[in-house]
Amino acid sequence: MASPVFDHSKVTVVFVLGGPGAGKGTQCAYLVDDFGFCHLSAGDLLRAEQHREGSEFGQLIQTCIKEGTIVPMEVTIKLLENAMSAALKEGRAGDGWKEGRGRFLVDGFPRKMDQALKFDDEVCMASAVLFFSTTEEVMLSRLLERGKTSGREDDNAESIKKRFSTSLPLNFRVKTYTPQLGRVIEIDSSPAVETVHARAKEAVGKLLPLCKQADHQTRSWI
């Protein structure tokens, strides 16, 4: 089998998981400032591709997003790989880019085990997982509030319900299947933004040195 595009001893990938509205994007913005990550949101990349002129996937992505279903992984993984290449080339993924080093927060991906395995095999072996957890009630109220200004066509009660039914069990399975517990951190994202941020910052500060260790030779998934 061909090796991954990026060498995980140089490129650190932290998957950021959690249900819709759990606060992934909000916390990633802070962690970018704290640690110099490049933040890549699978949902944002898909929305950009949906509106890109000439995209062969525009219609398919639009339907999936509206219905809250999973976009075929080949599309999402290719978008992530392209975005990682561009960020490394342009020096947007932290210090060390001239030696091909970089660090990424990959937000909203993977949503299924097959996505995790394909990404590990073909793009870059992930180093760690940050999991933001809260209740559906909290997420619903945040998303309805966000919907007042986000302009997103899936921040409405009907789409949110569908998104809960596809994203939550799948995210949960991903978490369950991750055996390297030292590199899987669950953070309760119910409290205020600042509280969650303080916890996330502390956790990532401890995590990053572990990601650099040479013994990180095995995938995080079974």
Q: Which residues bind ligand AMP (CB under 6 A)?
A: 20, 42-43, 46, 64-65, 68-71, 76, 108-111, 115, 154, 163
Cβ contacts of 149 within 8 Å, gap of 6 or more: none
β-sheet with 128-133: strand ranges across: 38-41, 102-107, 11-17, 128-133, 184-188
From ligand AMP, ligand ADP, none, interface partner of 192 (C-beta below 5 to 8 A by class): ligand ADP
Residues 144-203 binding ligand ADP (CB under 6 A) are 145-146, 189, 192-193, 196
Query: Which run of H or E residues covers position 168?
Result: helix 157-176
From ligand ADP, ligand AMP, none, interface partner of 88 (C-beta below 5 to 8 A by class): none
Half-sphere exposure of 70 (CA within 13 A, CB side): 19
Cβ contacts of 206 within 8 Å, gap of 6 or more: none
From ligand ADP, ligand AMP, none, interface partner of 57 (C-beta below 5 to 8 A by class): none
For ligand AMP, the closer CB: 115 or 134:
115
Euclidean distance between CA atoms 28 and 93, whole angstroms: 13
For ligand AMP, the closer CB: 98 or 148:
148
Max Cα distance, the chain (Å): 47
Q: How far is the CB of 52 from ligand AMP (least distance, A)?
A: 15
Helix (H, G, I), strand (E, B) or coil at 61: helix
| Residue 5 binding ligand ADP, by CB under 6 A | no
| Residue 25 binding ligand ADP, by CB under 6 A | yes
Q: Please report, as ranges, the residues that interact with ligand ADP according to CB under 6 A.
A: 18, 20-26, 142, 145-146, 189, 192-193, 196
